[in-house]
Structure 1
Amino acid sequence: MCIGMPMQVLRIEPGHALCQGRGEQRRVNTALVDELQVGDWLLVFLNDARECISAQRAHEVNAALDMVQHAMAGNYDTAAQDDALGFHLPSHMNLQDLHALTGDKQ
């Protein structure tokens, strides 16, 4: 399984960008995304940028990755993590929030 990492563009080069995210810097192939500017956020899979994302979406993905990292380390407290990160996992949402998340009009 390949997991996308949000990375922020630090410098642009022809066909590539130097990006930073989750504590590391990488030279990322940008052939699959539109024109970039320094400060843009990318979702990166195996050193290839697959899409440009908003800063909000980068925060959400990073928060989800943090939850996975905590769970793998065995120190995940669902309620505390949900409150600290500002959103809830679907398994902890009420029915109305689940409908909103999925776009269901019920």
Structure 2
Amino acid sequence: MCMGIPMRLVHVNGIAGQNDCGDLIDLSLTPDAQPGDWVLTFLGTAHEVIGPDRAAQIAAALQGLRAVMAGGDASGAFADLEARAPVLPSHLQAALAAGRTTG
């Protein structure tokens, strides 16, 4: 499993970016990324430019996972998910509405 890590760009030089910790980020999939932007990175490659609110949500979720792995409590790290009921993807909802309960 690969997890996306939000990082804020402080420097961009072509398709290479750098965050405030000095980590290098491949920006070839996000060529419009600019210094100050948040990018969602997977294995050192930015896959998406995201807003600061989404970056904060992801960072909180990752912190919650760290806490649980250390034997603690996620305590609100997934507030955006806790505040809503689960929703099936549209194709599964249509299958359920048609009476299908197995593949």
TM-score calculated relative to the size of structure 2 = 0.75
1:1-106 alignment to 2 at 5 Å? Answer: 1-20=1-20, 24-76=21-73, 78=74, 81-82=75-76, 85=77, 87=79, 89-90=81-82, 93=83, 97-98=84-85
Shift of 1:34: 3.4
Is this contact kept in 1: 2:61–2:78, CA < 8 A? no
Counterpart residue type for residue 87 of structure 1: A
- Counterpart of 1:69 in 2: which secondary structure? helix
Q: Higher helix share goes to which structure?
A: 1
Runs of 4+ in 1 over 3 A off after TM superposition: 101-104
Query: 2:4, 2:78 → 1: CA distance?
Result: 21
Counterpart residue type for residue 55 of structure 1: P
CA RMSD of aligned residues (A): 2.3
Report sequence identity in percent.
28
- Counterpart of 1:32 in 2: which secondary structure? coil
Q: Which runs of 5+ in 1 are unaligned?
A: none
Q: Which runs of 5+ in 2 are unaligned?
A: 91-103
The aligned length equals 90
Larger Rg: 2
